[in-house]
Amino acid sequence: MRRILIGALLITCLTACGGSSGGAALPVPVPIPPPGPTGVQSPGGIWFGFDSGAEQVAFYIAETGELRAIMHPDGGMFASFGGGTVSVTSNDVITGSFELEGALMLPTFEQSEELGCAISGSVVERQALNVDVTCSDSGGVVYDESLTLIYDIRSYERESSLDAIAGDYTLQFQTDTNALNIASDGTISGMYHNGAHCAVNGTAEIIDGDYGLIAITWTMTACVDLFGVFEGVQMSGFALADPSPAPATGRYYFLLTGQTEDGIYSISVLYDPV
């Protein structure tokens, strides 16, 4: 799989850098509300922290249990992205699974084998996520960590609406071929030119208007990229208002994953309004 370096570099900045124009830092911990009522807890949230190797981990989990993950399973400088689902039982036990990109291997930048990951532990709604994460390839376990992740109240507990996200957007590079339109009914159309060079058509849907994650699905067609693996690929994941400590007005972060014939392909970009 040919992963696009700017996506990896961007998410490194999103999760590590200060507030530069090309990225946004993960927010510092802020006061959190008390736990929700007894019973089944919601897994929803943007959860972040570090593993035992001081590598960044972030889970974006919708109220539906849909999950997108950002990790460094090999301890390298480039993040790996993945997607899956989690569910919560009546006694606050959380379980789930996700597929994760293999690490980029320097100096060739080829992608190593993809990983299958299992997640289990406990959640206190809107407060704490304590989980064991195990990821394996065909040779066995390559990542086994117990994680305590912090809830990002500021980014997750923003209201979301189609009216707010509707508009025209572009990336900060190749602006003419990275044009995206989101209509007021959630219809998505445009071009994506970052590794893949394709037309995109899909939808944005509100998951829960009280929270910031917006479901995004689009399909790539009419591809003219050199790799030849993106035609017909469906990407899915989330958009959310700029999660940086000093967010830019109208900017949205997109975190999507999809399956090509070469393996998982990920999109991690900031869209600026036009």
Domain 162-273 sits in CATH 3.40.1000: no
Give burial (CB, 10 Å; 0-12/13-18/19+) of 107.
Answer: exposed
Residue carrying the six token digits 């190749």: 174
pLDDT score recorded for residue 7:
37
Name residue 222's amino acid: A
- Domain ranges for the chain: 5-156, 162-273
pLDDT score recorded for residue 3:
45
Q: How do 252-260 and 140-151 pair as beta strands? A: unpaired
Nearest to 82 by CA among 54, 46, 45, 57: 57
Whole-angstrom CA distances from 214 to 12, 97, 182 are 22, 21, 12
Cα–Cα distance for residue pair 200/20, rounded to 1 Å: 28
- For the chain, 274 residues long, the average pLDDT of each consecutive 10-residue run is 37 34 36 51 97 96 98 89 96 96 73 92 97 96 97 97 98 94 98 95 98 98 91 98 93 97 94 97
Assigned token pair, 30: 């802020």
pLDDT score recorded for residue 10:
36
pLDDT score recorded for residue 107:
63
Q: Which residues of 131-154 are buried (b: 16+ CB within 10 A; e: fewer)?
A: bebbbebeeeebbebebebbbbbb
Assigned token pair, 231: 């035609």
pTM: 0.86
pLDDT score recorded for residue 11:
36
Cα–Cα distance for residue pair 90/37, rounded to 1 Å: 12
